[in-house]
Amino acid sequence: MIRNGRRKIALTAVAGASVLALGLTACGAGGSSEGSGGDGDRALRVWAGSQTPITANYNPFAPTVLHGALGPIYEPLFFFNKTADSEPVGLIGDSYEYNEDGTVITITIKPDLKWSDGESLTAADVAFSFTYEANNPEGNGLVSAEATDHTTVVLTYATAQYTTEFQRLGSTYILPEHIWAEVTDFANFANEEPVGSGAYVVDKTTSESYTLVANENFRDADDLGVKKVQYIAVDNNQTAQDLLAAGQLDWTGMFIPNPDDVTGNGAIEWINTPQDPTVLYTCSNAELGCAGLQTDVAVRQALNVAIDRAAKTITLESGRRESYGKLVLATGSRAIRLNLPGAERAVAFRDLADIERLRAAKAGSTAVVIGGGLLGQEAASGLAKRGVRVALVHLMDDLMERQLDAAAARLLAQEIAKRGIELHLGASTDRIEADAVVLKDGTRIPA
């Protein structure tokens, strides 16, 4: 995240929803301090990404949606800060609670809310949003969404939703029913004049930029520190970096190989936000079913002795000592075997022998890949390239749900579908038969 340090006071004055908005569009700002408060005619200038030319599309379900629609215009119920151990912040929502088994979520929204066109925003809009086709209610296991009064909505699911809290409450954008109830072809709806609940409304859209201005009906309109935001299209990172250093951009999120070239003048601040953090877990307790050398305490103690963390060295079996910058212990792994009937028919995807079995698949045959992680996607793509008819089954509603938000996951799903791969999201496998994979809802997928 890169931003101008002199803008800190103005930016911290922005209401919670607009903090979310700017955080979603990019991760930072930079630029000149003159008139940089965001008030009056001076807009906060944000890099729109390499979307050139810009085409007006504020449909939150469209793959070409302009970033400013997601957060600044359309909001979820709550903001979840994934980088901090903190409670969700209410946007439209005020509070929520689960029933005992996690299948029912009762949500209370803030009172007296309005859409940007002045119409009342009520629990009925929330219930409508969760049942709207584009939000995949059936795939999410939604049984019902009921507005019990103007500020209370009850969501009932077929299974517990504790682990999908962010997807449900933090990345489902709430829609005005009086607008979207008339939209039947949501995939091709450009929504050029969006009506939302967020801090901003569309002022102007051109092929070079689009501008959002303060929504006078926003719940915290009086506290909004940034009144105008201009998203500027720049077709490559280097040009955006040059504009940032020259003070022509205030806020951007992008890869910069040497941040000191931009931040050396002291006027620009930056935060590094790794996109793909990795956490390694070691299963070392044999009593819990773990297997392998790491379950032997002597092996773990030997590793501890061999690695000098302070000096960043490791002693090998030969006695030779090697220094390191980053140390990776590549000890190998075993594929997780599914605990379900017919699992012995599944082919693991871990070594060269497994690859050869995949290569043996003939064009025109069928295959089902269970698991939509990186390896699952690679296996599905590889088979599809060989002319195999492939279905990809993933337990969660979104692909790579730990790495991607809902909007990015939708883009990934659309790209995979373009490769001719049939996607089954939010799908739980019941059994594997000789000629099919059967899901718990009874769907049979030829294999």
Q: Write the CATH number for 212.
A: 3.40.190.10
Three-class SS of residue 266?
coil
Q: What is the largest CA-CA distance in the chain?
A: 76
CATH number at residue 432: 3.50.50.60
The DSSP code for 67 is G
pLDDT, position 329: 75
In the predicted structure, residue 420 carries a pLDDT above the cut 80: yes
Q: Indicate whether 352 pLDDT > 90.
A: no
Residue 191 covered by a domain:
no
Residues 284 and 253 in one domain: no
Residue 123's CB is within 10 A of a number of other CB atoms, namely 21
Q: Which of 180, 208, 234 is the last residue of a domain?
A: 180
103 and 154 together in one domain: yes
Other beta carbons less than 10 A from residue 308's beta carbon: 12
Q: Would you say residue 338 lies in a domain? A: no
Cβ within 8 Å of residue 107, ≥6 positions away: 77, 93, 95, 96, 123, 126, 152, 153, 154, 155, 169
Instruction: Place 331 in a pLDDT band, splitting at 50, 70 and 90.
Output: low
Whether 274 has a pLDDT exceeding 80, the answer reads no
What pLDDT, on the 0 to 100 scale, is given for residue 421?
A: 94
Residue 382 tokens, joined: 């590889």
Q: Is residue 47 in a domain?
A: yes
Residue 1 pLDDT > 80, yes or no? no
pLDDT at 336: 66
- The whole-angstrom separation of Cα 392 and Cα 379 is 9
Which letter does DSSP use for residue 264 in this model? T
Provide the pLDDT confidence category of residue 36 given band limits of 50, 70 and 90.
Answer: very low
Q: Are 56 and 207 in contact (CB under 8 A)?
A: no
Are residues 62 and 116 both part of a single domain? no
In the numeric block, which tokens belong to residue 16? 């919670």
Does 380 share its domain with 434?
Answer: yes
| 22 and 108 part of one domain | no
Any domain includes 188? no
203 and 61 housed in the same domain? yes
pLDDT over 90 (residue 60): yes
Q: Same domain for 134 and 58?
A: no
Give me the mean pLDDT over the 20-38 stretch.
35
Clarify whether residues 95 and 147 are in a common domain: yes
The average pLDDT across 361-373 equals 90
Query: Residue 377 falls within a domain, yes or no?
Result: yes
Both 351 and 428 in one domain: the answer is yes
In a domain, 368, yes or no: yes
3-state secondary structure at position 409: helix
Residue 241 tokens read as: 């970096």
pLDDT in tens, 224-253: 999 999 999 887 778 888 888 888 888 888
Instruction: Output the pLDDT for position 294.
Output: 79
Average pLDDT score over residue span 420-436: 91
pTM of the predicted model over 0.75: no
Count: domains in the chain: 4
> For residue 349, what are the CA distances in angstroms to 126, 373, 375?
42, 12, 8
Report whether 406 contacts 388 (CB < 8 A).
no
Burial class (CB within 10 angstroms; exposed 0-12, middle 13-18, buried 19+) of 51 = middle
Instruction: Tell whether 263 and 281 lie within a shared domain.
Output: no
Structure tokens at 340: 């379900």
Query: What pLDDT was estimated at residue 333?
Result: 63
Higher pLDDT pick, 436 / 237: 436
Question: Residue 51's pLDDT is what?
Answer: 67
Q: Of 250, 270, 290, which residue is a domain's last? A: 270
Contact status, residue 436 vs residue 446, Cβ threshold 8 Å: yes
Q: Does some domain include residue 78? A: no
Arithmetic mean of pLDDT over the chain: 83
**Residue 207 shares a structural domain with residue 66:** yes
Supply 204's token pair.
Answer: 């102007």
Q: How many whole angstroms separate alpha carbon 238 and alpha carbon 248?
A: 13
Report cis status (omega within 30 of 0) of the bond before 76.
no
Q: Are residues 366 and 441 in the same domain?
A: yes
Domain that holds residue 413: 343-446
Looking at residue 31, its pLDDT comes to 37
How large is the average pLDDT for residues 96-100? 95
**The pair of three-digit structure tokens given for residue 50, joined into one six-digit string:** 């390499």
Describe the chain by its helix, strand, coil percentages, rounded to 5.
25, 20, 50
